[in-house]
């Protein structure tokens, strides 16, 4: 992957000085992996190392005359603020010519024919149309979901380009769940030619800075920002969810009805497929489709499970809700009138109005883990979108309003509509606060 440089060291740069690396940083600097994940502590030097890697790449010989690299952040202004001046300072003057630097395009072209650009993913199409040799994506938890899959990866294909995705492992960023999953996939060997590195801020940041943070941040903020830990969202809605306990193998069972729990947002449209096994819910599959509609999802469901003999039972968003991108009465008419599912023995259970959001969340938390430590919702490991949503979903700071930023919320809503319908929590009006769970009285 790393090819011989045309100049071994950019010693004439005013910014290029001796740098002592932490052991994990040193391994990162030497890596030859194509894909790299770096969730590291605040102020830990990951961005500086990444910028230097980009600069060193500019002098590497390639089979083509115009090697291209880019540094990206969630927005163009942010990317420019973080990297533009530093890249200009790090590149030796003798690598440049009179027209090397374009301030309008944020691109630097070297005498070798190579170039590095600074881009923002507020408009990810900026990188499309050409192939790239390598890139750094910074503040990865704040990059919109699917930008890597839909915009970056195709642009790296033909030149076998490399990519570093780096950032503090935030719990509430719009891309936090995707970055966390990518990091875990690398650790567990599910991505080829990939490595992951992490280190805590205390390894490189002055002790007085770390101690100030320890005294002034809450534990989750400190663990996230300085200990480089992926933690559950602060103000987490599904506080009872524990990925190590609620995620386990959940097989498809041909002898039980398939519960189809639906959220009718069009991008994404999210459906959860599960079985009720005794008093336990087992989620064995999910449909998570982009820019689609109900007939298309019905077709996908039928193609996967059309031979199922034990029937289907549909639950979901209330039919009376009239949202531009969510449930309308036509969605339910389509399900009710689909002849394939009629023949397969389908039932449709949708309320005329949705329950209070807090009640729906409470029902889910009770089923995820009650006060006695009993867990009654289990999710198959393949259902990554639902798992991510349960981990990341939180309230807007200082409010009781769920944060629906980006893709967050749709698939956990789908599960919640079913759970509240089948296993609701209610407060009985007589004899004090008796809790009624799924129609059963608990004293």
Does some domain include residue 230?
no
Tokens representing 185? Answer: 């996939």
Residue-by-residue DSSP string for 92-119: -GGG--TT-EETTTTEEE-TTS-EEEEE
Inter-residue contact 83 to 100 (CB < 8 Å): no
- The answer as to whether 92 is a domain residue is yes
Q: Are residues 432 and 286 in the same domain?
A: yes
**Are 264 and 400 contained in the same domain?**
yes
Domain that holds residue 125: 23-225
- 426 and 298 inside one domain: yes
* Same-domain check for residues 263 and 209: no
Same domain, 265 and 220: no
Evaluate if residue 280 carries a pLDDT over 80: yes
Mean pLDDT within 56-79: 96
Radius of gyration, alpha carbons of the chain: 25
Q: Is 206 found in the same domain as 64?
A: yes
Flag whether 15 is in a domain: no
User: Stretch 48-73: mean pLDDT, rounded?
Assistant: 96
Domain-ending residue, one of 160, 192, 225: 225
The domain boundary residue, chosen from 173, 198, 225: 225
- Percentage of the residues of the chain whose pLDDT score is greater than 90: 53
- Beta-strand relationship, 115-120 and 134-137: unpaired
Residues 253 and 214 in one domain: no
Provide the angle, in degrees to the nearest 10, between the axes of the packed helices 384-392 and 176-187: 120
Which CATH number goes with the domain that contains 309?
3.30.420.280
Asked if residue 5 belongs to a domain, the reply is no
Determine the 3-state secondary structure of 247 from DSSP. strand
Instruction: Specify the 3-state DSSP secondary structure of 20.
Output: coil
Does residue 69 belong to any structural domain of this protein? Answer: yes
Phi then psi for residue 270, to 5 deg, are -120, 120
Are residue 213 and residue 247 in the same domain, yes or no? no
Res. 219 pLDDT band, cuts 50 70 90: confident
Domains identified in the chain, total number: 2
Mean pLDDT of the chain: 85
Q: Are residues 353 and 391 in the same domain?
A: yes
Q: What are phi and psi of 284, to 5 degrees?
A: -110, -15
Distance CA 79, CA 93 (A): 22
3-class secondary-structure state, position 198 = coil
Q: Is the pLDDT higher at 426 or at 33? A: 33
- DSSP per-residue codes, 288-313: EESS--HHHHHHHHHHHHTT--S-EE
Place of tokens 């102020």: 43
Same domain? For 196 and 300 the reply is no
Q: Is the pLDDT of residue 188 over 50?
A: yes
Of 194, 225, 256, the position where a domain reaches its end is 225
Verify that 30 and 169 share a domain, yes or no: yes
Give domain status of residue 168, yes or no. yes
Comparing C-alpha atoms, which of 90, 79, 83 is closest to residue 119?
Answer: 79
pLDDT tens digits, residue range 121-147?
A: 999 998 999 999 999 999 998 898 889
Using alpha carbons, list the distances in angstroms from residue 165 to 14, 16, 99, 341: 27, 23, 30, 44
386 in a structural domain: yes
How does pLDDT run across 89-109, given as a tens digit for each residue? 999 999 999 899 999 999 999
Task: Give the strand pairing for 425-427 and 435-437.
Answer: antiparallel
User: Please, are residues 119 and 72 in contact by the beta-carbon 8 Å criterion?
Assistant: yes
Q: Are residues 197 and 264 in the same domain?
A: no
CATH number of the CATH domain containing 97: 3.40.50.300
Stretch 220-242: mean pLDDT, rounded?
Answer: 76
pLDDT one-digit tens code per residue, 321-347: 444 434 455 788 888 889 999 999 999
Mapped onto helix, strand or coil, the DSSP state of residue 216 is helix
Q: What is the mean pLDDT of residues 266-281?
A: 91
Task: Report CA dihedral (275, 280, 281, 284) to the nearest 10 degrees.
Answer: -60
Confidence of residue 396 (pLDDT cuts 50, 70, 90): confident
Instruction: Give the mean model confidence (pLDDT) for residues 377-399.
Output: 86
In a domain, 234, yes or no: no
């Amino acid at each position: 992957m790393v090819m011989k440089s045309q100049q071994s060291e950019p010693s004439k740069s005013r910014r290029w000085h001796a740098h002592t690396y932490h052991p994990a940083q040193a391994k990162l600097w030497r890596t030859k992996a194509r894909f790299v994940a770096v969730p590291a502590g605040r102020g830990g030097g990951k961005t500086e190392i990444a910028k230097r890697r980009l600069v060193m790449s500019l002098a590497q010989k390639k089979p083509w005359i115009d090697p291209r690299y880019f540094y990206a952040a969630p927005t163009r202004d942010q990317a420019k603020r973080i990297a533009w001046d530093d890249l200009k300072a790090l590149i030796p003057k003798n690598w440049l010519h009179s027209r090397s630097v374009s301030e309008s395009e944020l691109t630097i072209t070297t005498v070798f024919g190579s170039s590095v650009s600074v881009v923002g993913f507020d408009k990810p199409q900026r990188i499309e149309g050409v192939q790239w040799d390598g890139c750094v994506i910074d503040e990865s938890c704040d990059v919109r979901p699917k930008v890597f899959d839909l915009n970056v990866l195709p642009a790296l294909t033909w030149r076998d380009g490399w990519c570093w995705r780096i950032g503090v492992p935030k719990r509430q960023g719009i891309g936090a769940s995707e970055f966390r999953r990518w990091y875990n996939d690398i650790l567990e060997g599910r991505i080829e030619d990939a490595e992951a590195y992490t280190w805590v801020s205390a390894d490189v940041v002055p002790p007085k800075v770390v101690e100030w943070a320890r005294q002034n941040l809450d534990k989750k903020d400190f663990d996230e920002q300085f200990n480089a830990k992926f933690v559950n969202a602060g103000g987490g809605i599904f506080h009872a969810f524990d990925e190590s306990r609620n995620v386990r193998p959940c097989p498809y069972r041909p002898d039980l009805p398939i519960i189809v729990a639906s959220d009718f947002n069009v991008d994404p449209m999210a459906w959860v497929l599960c079985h009720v096994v005794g008093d336990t819910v087992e989620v064995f599959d999910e449909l998570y489709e982009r820019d689609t509609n109900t007939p298309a999802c019905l077709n996908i469901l039928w193609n996967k499970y059309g031979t199922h003999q034990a029937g289907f039972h549909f639950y979901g968003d209330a039919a009376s809700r009239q949202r531009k991108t969510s449930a309308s009465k036509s969605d339910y008419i389509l399900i009710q009138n689909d002849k394939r599912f009629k023949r397969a023995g389908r039932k449709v259970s949708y309320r005329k109005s949705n329950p209070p959001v807090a009640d729906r969340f409470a029902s889910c938390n009770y089923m995820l883990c009650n006060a006695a430590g009993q867990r009654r919702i289990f999710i198959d490991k393949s259902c990554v979108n639902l798992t991510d949503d349960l981990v990341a979903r939180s309230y807007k700071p200082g409010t009781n309003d769920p944060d629906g930023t980006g893709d967050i919320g749709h698939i956990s809503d789908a599960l919640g509509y079913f759970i509240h319908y089948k296993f609701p929590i209610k407060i009985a009006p007589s004899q004090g606060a008796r809790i009624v769970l799924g129609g059963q009285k608990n004293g």
